[in-house]
Structure 1
């Protein structure tokens, strides 16, 4: 009996040890079953995608959005977007009116080109239009949208903005603590132009590229304001190079507007953003850590931006190191490119019209004499201020305001503005509107000499190079001081011209972070 049971067990073990061979007909049926499951899954996903698209389209059509060009399925007007940064915008305005919808994926962009409509949105309904969109791709560089420029409208934004304004931008603190710093930095800027001109005598026809020298000077100035001391040239250059790279590459991606693009591997650039963020931390964080040590020892310069940030409580918590990097970088980038761009455009127009340069110099000699212009002299130089204002009107640094978002669905001129809309004002359209400005294409500083203009647009919008309403640039006052002071010293120190008599300066613009000169300005400069 036992022997028989052992034979039976051995027989079963031998059978189970043999490989299992699937009959061809069974394999065919199994393959068909898998294929049917896969087809069913694909069909289900396609149906789900189609349902989402139809639902999105129907939801959009339930809103009475402002008119605009018809786009392609799914992507909308994505491939027409560049038209809104060219002269073609006015053709679209003639066709659709002063408020236009540009559909990008399922995100409506509301473009405002009229001053009165802009005032209604940003000033009269300021609290409703005071928020910001939050595209996922930009969360990394904004510490999850907890900086001044990209925070949604609320407690965090108010606290950070209040700290910036009271910390370093209010005229009393900025003047008292950093007047000498600004004087030293501007004097260094003048010397750099002088040295560059001397070095260029034997080459380039004696001409100097203006933008890089101004850019270094502004970064040097803002780094001093941020960290309370002047930094080594190598550090200034490293910070400037790193933050410029981030500024140009950290933009919204297509998957911010068409969410399912996030599942396409080649559409993703998260790794590049992480690498850029790490570069930013590597460059800026050591400056913050050094400042923290000085702060603990009571040696940090009072009135610097980092000094105010180290004291602030944000919802009961001190700011983390990464958050401090974000806020310091925001000050540096936000205050540099707009100022550099404006100064380059100003010098370009002054070279084109030598009589403007002569009038500036004449005014400085009459008011100031032979000594160097100081900050206190600026408001005694109305023609110089008019040149700066005309530059901001004719060549606003930003072609559009930064995107606004509404805090609740609302109406604007009878049209629906949904929560997910991005609202932008064409700054250039307003500042070159012939209904507001006579001969707007002409560069005429004298138009500002007897003009009572509120550049904030609070009463009436005629030009808004710094935005308007609750989201107006908090650094407006400081920016105007820097623009006037630096331009005055450059005009007082040098005679500016082109290298070839009769040569024209190319005033064609191209969009980067700001609207810059497509052909960078090269100037022949001679010490006065």
Structure 2
């Protein structure tokens, strides 16, 4: 980029900021917040771990806090009461997303069920997710496919045990998540442990996670979007494009098989349902692009959040030996020595409490996906101008001593009392997957994958942390992105009983 273009961009930023700041604050009772610096606003206060920085600021300025990120006015929500006002009382006002520039690659923002504005297309895609992809009937039909992949995980861990080799929990859960999703969606095997296929998928997922999670000047100063100064959109086009080619080829192959083979036998996967949707175009009015971008959402979102959650679950259990012992005892009493199946999950209340406690401490999306005010509205007595970006700090709410007793402690027992708090969008103290109409559509699938993968790793197996992995360090060193990961991989030695 030449010097003249840079100077024009800088001048545009200054003019945009001055005009916006005056317009956004004049005559309005905005939520309190730290005073913004010229041009950059409060950007410098975000740091590398925004969920933590914003939680500290909220303790000073309150549960509804206003900040300026460049020219983008943002309100941070850090209490269940304010979250309920956003997701329930004013759901219609905040129904649409504020979308980062990276997601505009391949027009994903216009086609993705996660990011598109609510309308007929969005309602149709949500209906397909609910009735075709994640219905109880569909997930039950594909259960056998997932059991095969979990057995592969068990065999891999046992092989590591035989060889005295530590298991990289994130890598093992990533490969297994890919295979569970590939089996459920496409009836295929995606990757083997320590394989080149794993590296290919890993590169794509890492690429998407980094470009969506890393700061981009174009998100703070929209006037810079045409320039793509940091090359974020270009990188996103590359990674999104690779994933779209993979899922597009699988979709086309299935369509060709069904059309050319008169003796074709229907498979018990979710792709079969999606091909049916395309064949019933008069009813659903969706294109191939809708389906491929939906599959992109499911693969990228599901792989990152599930992989990260499994690693945090194992991190907490391996440093809380007493909690692990209780969980293993429950598994033994309900399952015995046999392999766990998905129908066992509701019979394991302590296991469910462990998952809730991990979601409280380590929500997959710490700030959830951002919302956008569709019109001027009052929340908590404050004015929220049209166009305001809304971030709900689920991480901060999960560690708030006003909500939770001993919030930094890992205590699954807190969820075994008379008050049944769940994480499915009804109890605003715990909303790791969001709430309202835009709650994560794959939640029912996640509810199966996480306990099954965890049980595979701990049932009839013991674990020993790698030498040098201090127990007190397990909770430190977070890395912010689509999901908050451990900054260093969790590695441990499996021990067969």
Q: TM-score, normalised by structure 2?
A: 0.88
Task: Give the equivalent residue in structure 2 for 1:153.
Answer: 118
1:230 is aligned to 189
Unaligned ranges ≥5, structure 1: 1-42
- What pairs up with 1:93-492 in 2 under 5 angstroms? 93-175=58-140, 177-199=141-163, 201=164, 206-231=165-190, 233=192, 235=197, 237-250=199-212, 253-262=216-225, 266-296=229-259, 297=261, 298-305=264-271, 307-308=273-274, 311-312=277-278, 313=281, 317-320=285-288, 322-450=289-417, 451-458=419-426, 460-492=427-459
In the TM superposition, residue 68 of structure 1 has moved relative to its aligned partner by 1.6
**C-alpha displacement of 1:55:** 2.9
User: 1:437-484: CA deviations, max 9, x gaps?
Assistant: 1111110111112241232242x4111111111111111122122111
* 1:315–1:363 Cα change, 3 Å: closer
Q: Which residue of 1 aligns with 2:490?
A: 521
Change (3 A) 1:501 1:49: closer
| Pairwise CA distance, 1:305 | 3.8
Counterpart contact for 1:123–1:470, Cα < 8 Å? no
Kindly tell me the number of residue pairs found equivalent between the two proteins.
Answer: 478
Q: Structure 1 pair 273/492, CA: closer, same or farther in 2 (3 Å)? A: closer
Does the 8 Å CA contact 2:17/2:70 hold for their aligned counterparts? no
SS in structure 1 at match of 2:35: coil
Distance 2:237 2:146 in 1: 35
305 and 410 in structure 1: CA distance in 2 versus 1, 3 angstrom threshold: farther
Contact 2:145–2:187 (Cα < 8 Å) also in 1:
no
Q: Structure 2 vs 1, CA of residues 137 and 248 (structure 1 numbering), >3 Å: closer, same or farther?
A: closer
Q: Distance in 2 between matches of 1:236 and 1:412?
A: 46
Listed one character per residue, the Cα deviations across residues 18-59 of structure 1 (whole Å, up to 9, x for unaligned) are: xxxxxxxxxxxxxxxxxxxxxxxxx99999887654432221
- In structure 2, the residue matched to 1:31 is none
Q: Unaligned regions of 5+ residues in structure 2, if any? A: 1-6
Distance 1:348 1:243, change over 3 A: closer
8 Å CA contact retained: 1:56, 1:106: yes
* Residues in 2 aligned to 1:239 and 1:88: alpha-carbon distance in whole angstroms: 32
CA contact (8 A) 1:229 1:301 kept: no
Bigger Cα displacement from structure 2, 141-150 vs 235-244:
235-244
Cα contact 1:142–1:150 (8 A) shared by 2: no
In 1, the alpha carbon distance for the partners of 2:55 and 2:199 equals 40
Superposition deviation, residue 142 in structure 1: 4.9
Evaluate the alpha carbon distance shift between residue 44 and residue 345 of structure 1 in structure 2; reply closer, same or farther with a 3 A threshold. Answer: closer
> Is this contact kept in 1: 2:169–2:311, CA < 8 A?
yes
- CA shift, 1:378, in A, is 1.5
Q: State the Cα distance separating 1:270 from its structure 2 match.
A: 4.2
Rounded to whole Å, the distance in 2 between the matches of 1:237 and 1:44 is 41
Moved more, 61-70 or 294-303: 294-303
CA distance, structure 2, for counterparts of residue 51 and residue 86 of structure 1: 30
Q: Aligned equivalents of 1:66 and 1:434: distance in 2?
A: 22
Call closer, same or farther: CA 1:280–1:478 in 2, change over 3 Å.
closer
Change (3 A) 1:401 1:265: closer
Question: Is the alpha carbon distance of 1:487 and 1:407 closer, same or farther for their aligned partners in structure 2, counting shifts above 3 Å?
Answer: same
Residue 304 (structure 1) shift:
0.9
Whole-angstrom distance in 2 between the partners of 1:463 and 1:238: 35
Q: Kindly report the root-mean-square deviation, in angstroms, between the aligned alpha carbons of the 2 structures.
A: 2.8
For normalisation by structure 1, the TM-score amounts to 0.83
Larger radius of gyration: 1
